[in-house]
């Protein structure tokens, strides 16, 4: 009879071990958010440091979130620039606002930007700087004219600026002086941002030299990658004709310049997917906020949020046209872009509240990805559990209890027979 008891005990222990092992030691299901981003234009509109930190607080609610700061544009260089003498030491100061006395435009100092990067790190929010080239560079061109003189910028043979009045903000990267100018700026900013994982190099709305600009984008990718950066750029420099010439390690922020990208020959999101690029979708019909006194009405704001909730999906990559996206391969997530060129007269709070509501509406429409991982025993309690995992634990526990009860009953019956 003792042998029977021993056999029952061994059988029960083996069965319990087999059932309980995945509960206590083996696999867990982890949910990962798609990347969700807010791009904030701090070139065309000045935001105080504390205001930008509130965007970081919003992003910190969700994992895998990103703040991209669009530091430079035609209207202003919104960040310190030692190369062109826009520095904290040269600025006029009012409270915590530093203003270039030549341009009368405020900018963020390196000290302030460092504070923002540290704050983002503390909140586990990815911080991506954007220094926009080779178009949208009038802010830099104006500073260069002040430091180096009019001819340095505009001379018909040696000047750095593109010679067509229709595109005054373009720097001529094919000219050696223009190329050297861009590289001097990037030498400064890549050194300052060296603690960042990503660097966004712009490349939006440069309408000229379709092949040459792709070659330049590849050159800039190599330069940035050699400095340890992952590289991002806007989508509209890329066409269906030149997409296969661009290094597909560059991550694409897809916004769609023209309403019908296909009609104008711009590369589509499916083409980027097929070519192996990773993409963040920021559809300018649904996900752009260009605040102005005229359009920031309660009715318009409510319509924008309703439109995202009811009509936008990750598949909606181009304006409000029907989707041609068959899958989410290589799509990292989505982004809300908050631009500043028409925002005079609108308060920071009004912009932030609308932008935050748009971000939350977008976030709820992004994919949540699941994956199963093996984890050591001590890490199990810290891994997020899905509903399916919890159900599995309950069923396994119940099975263990049933086996124990059966063993106890068998042992008691055997005792009574004795």
What integer pLDDT is reported at residue 8 of this predicted model? 52
| Residue carrying structure tokens 């060296």 | 194
The answer to whether residues 378 and 82 touch, using CB atoms and an 8 Å cutoff, is no
What integer pLDDT is reported at residue 167 of this predicted model? 74
Fold for the domain defined by 35-366: TIM Barrel (3.20.20)
Question: Which DSSP string do the residues of 111-130 spell out, in sequence order?
Answer: HHHHHHHHHHHHTT-EEEEE
Provide the H-helix boundaries in 312-386: 348-363
Give me 332's structure tokens.
Answer: 């990292």
The answer to whether residues 167 and 137 touch, using CB atoms and an 8 Å cutoff, is no
Q: From CA 413, how far away is CA 418, in angstroms rounded?
A: 9
Pairing of strands 230-234, 251-254: parallel
The answer to whether residues 268 and 262 touch, using CB atoms and an 8 Å cutoff, is yes
Radius of gyration of the chain (CA): 28
What b-and-e string marks burial along 72-85, b requiring 16 or more CB atoms within 10 Å of the CB?
A: bbbbbbbbbbebbe
Q: From CA 93, how far away is CA 86, in angstroms rounded?
A: 13
The answer to whether residues 374 and 1 touch, using CB atoms and an 8 Å cutoff, is no
Q: From CA 231, how far away is CA 224, in angstroms rounded?
A: 7
pLDDT digits (tens, 9 = 90+) for 108-136: 999 999 999 999 999 999 999 999 999 99
What integer pLDDT is reported at residue 168 of this predicted model? 78
Largest CA distance in the chain: 112
| Residue carrying structure tokens 């199990």 | 380
| Residue carrying structure tokens 């068959």 | 326
Cis ω for the linkage preceding 253 (within 30 of 0) = no
Which regions of 134-210 does DSSP assign to beta strands (E)?
Answer: 198-202
The answer to whether residues 112 and 49 touch, using CB atoms and an 8 Å cutoff, is yes
Question: Has this prediction a pTM greater than 0.85?
Answer: no
pLDDT digits (tens, 9 = 90+) for 225-261: 999 999 999 999 999 999 999 999 999 999 977 667 7
Question: Which DSSP string do the residues of 138-153 spell out, in sequence order?
Answer: HHHHHHHHHHH-HHHH
User: Which residue, 130, 123, 109, is CA-closest to 56?
Assistant: 123
pLDDT digits (tens, 9 = 90+) for 390-417: 454 455 555 555 555 665 555 555 555 5
Percent of the chain with pLDDT over 90: 70
* Segments of the chain scoring below 50 in pLDDT: 6-7, 10, 13-14, 16-25, 379-390, 392-393
The CA–CA distances, whole Å, from 217 to 73, 169, 184, 231, 350 equal 18, 18, 16, 10, 36
User: Which residue, 119, 74, 76, is CA-closest to 98?
Assistant: 76
What integer pLDDT is reported at residue 368 of this predicted model? 81
What integer pLDDT is reported at residue 18 of this predicted model? 47
């Amino acid at each position: 009879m003792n042998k029977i008891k021993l056999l029952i005990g061994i059988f029960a222990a083996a069965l319990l071990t087999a059932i309980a092992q995945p509960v206590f030691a083996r696999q867990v299901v982890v949910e990962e958010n798609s990347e969700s981003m807010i791009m904030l234009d701090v070139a065309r509109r000045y935001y105080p440091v504390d205001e930008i930190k509130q965007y970081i607080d919003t992003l910190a609610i969700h994992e895998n979130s990103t703040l991209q700061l669009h530091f430079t544009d035609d209207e202003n260089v919104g960040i310190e620039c030692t190369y062109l003498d826009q520095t904290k030491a040269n600025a006029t100061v009012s409270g915590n606002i530093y203003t270039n006395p030549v341009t009368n435009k405020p900018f963020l100092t390196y000290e302030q930007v460092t504070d923002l990067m540290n704050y983002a790190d503390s909140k586990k929010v990815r911080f991506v700087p954007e220094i926009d080239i080779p178009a949208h560079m009038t802010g830099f061109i104006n500073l260069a004219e002040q430091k180096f003189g009019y001819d340095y910028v505009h001379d018909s043979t040696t000047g750095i600026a593109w010679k067509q009045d229709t595109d005054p903000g373009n720097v001529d990267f094919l000219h050696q002086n223009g190329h050297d100018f861009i590289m001097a700026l990037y030498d400064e900013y890549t050194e300052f941002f060296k603690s960042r994982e990503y660097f966004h190099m712009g490349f939006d709305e440069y309408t000229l030299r379709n092949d040459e600009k792709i070659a330049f984008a590849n050159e800039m990718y190599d330069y940035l990658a050699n400095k340890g950066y992952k590289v991002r750029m806007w989508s509209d420099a890329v066409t269906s004709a030149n997409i296969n010439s661009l290094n597909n390690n560059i991550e694409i922020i897809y916004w769609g310049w023209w309403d019908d990208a296909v009609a104008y020959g711009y590369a589509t999101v499916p083409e980027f997917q097929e070519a192996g690029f990773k993409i963040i979708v920021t559809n300018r019909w649904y996900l752009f906020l260009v605040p102005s006194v005229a359009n920031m009405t309660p009715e318009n704001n409510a319509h924008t949020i309703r439109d995202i909730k009811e009509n936008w999906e990750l598949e909606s990559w181009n304006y409000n046209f029907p989707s041609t996206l068959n899958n989410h391969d290589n799509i990292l997530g989505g982004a809300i872009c908050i631009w500043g060129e028409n925002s005079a007269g609108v308060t920071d709070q009004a912009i932030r509240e609308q932008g935050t509501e748009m971000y939350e509406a977008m976030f709820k429409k992004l994919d949540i990805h699941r994956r199963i991982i093996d984890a050591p025993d001590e890490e199990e309690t810290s891994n997020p559990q899905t509903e399916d995992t919890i159900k599995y634990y309950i069923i396994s526990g119940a099975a263990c209890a049933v086996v124990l009860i059966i063993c106890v009953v068998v042992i008691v019956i055997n005792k009574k027979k004795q």
